[in-house]
Amino acid sequence: MSDSAATNEAVWKSDATIAQWVATADERERGRVWARRFMAELLPFGGEDAFTFADLGAGTGAAARAVLDRYPSSSAILADYSPQMMAEGRRGLAAYEGRYRYVEIDLAGGRWPAELDRELEAVVSSLCVHHLPDDRKAGLFREIFDRLAPGAWYLNYDPVAAQDPEVEEAWRRVEDARDPAGAAKRAHRTEEEHARWENHVRHIVPLEPQLALVRAAGFEAVDAYWKELDHVIYGGRRPLG
């Protein structure tokens, strides 16, 4: 097992870590509501269209819920790595019973469950691709492309790195103004929090190389459709031909 895979398992398959993560999820998610809703709106469906989409690295299902809310006739296949996160997700998805199912996937491994070996009508991912090294990002984008129906879209909501230190400093200044306790939190992380932070940031890269990987996978209409500081929604569609 690679160091990266071992760290992922230590973080996302730890009962204690997931319990702490879930306990602080509401605070984090309040700042993501608009972005998740916007990602749902970017999908090219009418409000009453019936379709099935996949949410990769779904965690507790925050991205999937935004799509399910926006399109009441849609259904979701939520794919995740962590049994603990999936268990928490099922509790939070009680109101969507019959419209979703979980399957297990390790995005780092390139092995897809049979339930996703089909022409998908849309794929979204949220706050998970940044955990992958660049060669695996490239492989994942190709695998998503191969499983999309012609004309179907893939959208990803994720953090990106700055290429310019001055840009990074501007991002940090705004973030600290929004959360005055941010600097103290960074300076006083516990050992567990530091390990989770290292796992979070180790493979975060700038936006442009990721757009290039999406284009190289075969997608068209590739763009950063929304961006605020270090968070972005990017993606594209599989050509019709």
Looking at the domain assignment, is residue 23 inside a domain?
A: yes
Looking at the domain assignment, is residue 136 inside a domain?
A: yes
The mean per-residue pLDDT over the stretch 225-238 comes to 97
Number of domains observed in the structure of the chain: 1
For position 22, what pLDDT does the model report? 64
For position 31, what pLDDT does the model report? 79
Looking at the domain assignment, is residue 73 inside a domain?
A: yes
Looking at the domain assignment, is residue 124 inside a domain?
A: yes
Q: Is 220 helix (H, G, I), strand (E, B) or coil?
A: strand
Crossing angle for the helix pair 62-70 and 33-42, nearest 10 degrees? 50
Looking at the domain assignment, is residue 171 inside a domain?
A: no
Give Cα 239 to chain centroid, integer Å: 23
The CATH number covering residue 208 comes to 3.40.50.150
| Beta bridge pairs of residue 106 | 111
pLDDT per residue over 2-55, tens digit each? 555 545 655 656 666 666 656 666 667 777 899 999 999 999 999 999 999 999
The mean per-residue pLDDT over the stretch 68-79 comes to 98
Q: Which two tokens stand for residue 140?
A: 């994942």
**149 membership: H or E segment, kind and range:** strand 148-159
pLDDT per residue over 87-129, tens digit each? 999 999 999 999 999 999 999 987 899 999 889 999 999 999 9
The mean per-residue pLDDT over the stretch 144-161 comes to 97
**Residue-number span of the structural domain to which 226 is assigned:** 3-162+203-237
**102 membership: H or E segment, kind and range:** strand 100-104
The burial of 166, by beta-carbon neighbours within 10 Å (0-12 exposed, 13-18 middle, 19 or more buried), is given as exposed
Looking at the domain assignment, is residue 172 inside a domain?
A: no
3-state SS of the chain: helix, strand, coil percent to 5?
Answer: 50, 25, 30
